[in-house]
């Protein structure tokens, strides 16, 4: 009969995380945070574009000199720009809420 000697280890930690931290590597931010920040940047840029469109429409309205076509075009642009800003603000609020909830769940 042969005797088998085995050593059981209860620790599942390999020390890899400690070695990586000592070497200067980190796990970095969660992917949800990176995606959320990217969406926030894109929505911010879209918001700025709608504000620029609103300013352009205002200038067009002021310089239309009573021409019905330019006044109608400016009013349509103003309506579209305000609607776009409302949609962008709502989208920003929704994505911010969802990604904060997602980050809290994953961490």
Least Cα distance to 39 among 86, 83, 91 occurs for 91
Nearest-angstrom CA–CA distance, 1 and 11: 31
The residue range of the domain holding 68 is 30-106
Per-residue pLDDT at 90? 95
Q: Where does residue 47 rank: exposed (0-12), middle (13-18), buried (19+ CB within 10 A)? A: middle
Residue 71 lies in a domain: yes
Per-run averaged pLDDT (10 residues), the chain, 107 residues: 65 70 76 86 94 95 91 95 94 89 76
Nearest-angstrom CA–CA distance, 62 and 70: 10
Nearest-angstrom CA–CA distance, 76 and 57: 8
Residue 100 lies in a domain: yes
Domain count, the chain: 1
Residue 102 lies in a domain: yes
Residue 49 lies in a domain: yes
Residue 13 lies in a domain: no
Per-residue pLDDT at 12? 63
Per-residue pLDDT at 83? 96
């Amino acid at each position: 009969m042969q005797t088998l000697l085995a050593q059981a280890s209860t620790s599942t930690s390999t020390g890899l995380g400690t070695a990586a931290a000592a070497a200067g590597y980190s796990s970095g931010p969660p992917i949800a945070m990176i995606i959320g920040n990217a969406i926030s940047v894109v929505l911010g840029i879209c918001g700025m574009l709608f504000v620029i469109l609103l300013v352009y429409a205002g200038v067009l309205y002021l310089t239309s000199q009573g021409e019905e076509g330019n006044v109608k075009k400016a009013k349509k642009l103003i309506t579209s720009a305000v609607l776009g800003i409302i949609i962008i603000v709502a989208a920003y609020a929704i994505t911010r809420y969802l990604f904060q909830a997602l980050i809290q769940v994953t961490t």
